[in-house]
Amino acid sequence: MNDLERALWRAGDHDDRAAVAARAFVERADREGLIDVAYTTVDAPVGELLVAGTSRGLVRVAFGGIPHEKVLLELAEDVSPRLIEAPARLDSIRRQLDEYFEGRRTRFEVGLDWRLTHGFARRVLKHTARIPYGDVSTYKSMAAAAGSPRGARAAGNALGANPIPIVVPCHRVLHSGGGLGGYGGGLDRKALLLELEGVTGPWARRQASRSGSR
């Protein structure tokens, strides 16, 4: 309406200072034990990853395919609403992921918080966590290891819903016939991770023939 109102609207851009204030707050909140879930993002060849941890350990890794906002809201709902972006709390896993993608790390040394998994799915994922780097297994044998030899399909569902992909290496589980199977983050990412680990298979050719289309 006039200069006065224009001056009022022009509240100024304080985003930089807000970020500094936020950092100080996060440090203090962490010291005082007020953060139940810390999260941050990590740049990776498979796209930006959202990484979240609790006092028990790593609780969630999410690919960019699902909007991070949605993942965060789920975490707020399923774990705790005291969910804060706190990169320093996740320094170790961030560094390990960097090393993994540079081919300098073959196993993750990080505590895992399994609370987003239950029952049979949790058993399948815990067995999957033991498949070594560069090795692969099958849905059928993961199902058998979890106590249900005929539950290959259910094992596939459990792996597809893996809340901690990459670190719990569900990409190392393939079809008995050697096919790629499925992947929660999309088959291109699965192929990329296997290739990074030096695993070759028929899907590699498939990838090559489609190179350029991501």
Helices (H) and strands (E) in the chain, counts: 9, 6
CA distances, 59 to each of 18, 24, 69, 167, 202 (Å): 28, 25, 16, 10, 33
| Chosen residue from 47, 81, 111, 147 binding another protein by CB under 8 A | 81
**Part in contact with another protein (CB under 8 A); list of ranges 46-54, 73-81, 128-136, 141-149:** 73-81
Q: Look up 170 and say whether it is catalytic.
A: yes
User: Does 74 contact another protein by CB under 8 A?
Assistant: no
Cα–Cα–Cα angle for 93, 214, 135, rounded to 5 degrees: 50
Among candidate residues 75, 30, 81, the one with its CA nearest the CA of residue 52: 75
How many other CB atoms are found less than 10 A from the CB of residue 29? Answer: 15
Does residue 34 bind another protein (CB under 8 A)? yes
Q: Does 109 bind another protein (CB under 8 A)?
A: no
Among the listed ranges 58-66, 70-78, 144-152, 192-200, the one in contact with another protein (CB under 8 A) is 70-78
User: CA nearest 93: which of 33, 53, 35, 46?
Assistant: 53
Residues 50-69 that bind another protein (CB under 8 A): 69
Q: Which stretch binds another protein (CB under 8 A): 29-37, 147-155, 159-167, 204-212?
A: 29-37
C-beta pairs of 140-144 under 8 Å, 24+ apart in sequence:
140/176, 142/173
Is 76 a binding residue for another protein by CB under 8 A? The answer is yes
CB 124 within 8 A of CB 143: yes
CB of 166 to another protein, least distance (A): 24
Choice between 13 and 109, CB closer to another protein: 13
- Which lies closer to another protein via its Cβ, residue 37 or residue 164? 37
Binding site for another protein (CB under 8 A): 3-5, 7-15, 17-18, 20-22, 24-25, 28-29, 32, 34-35, 69, 72-73, 76, 80-85
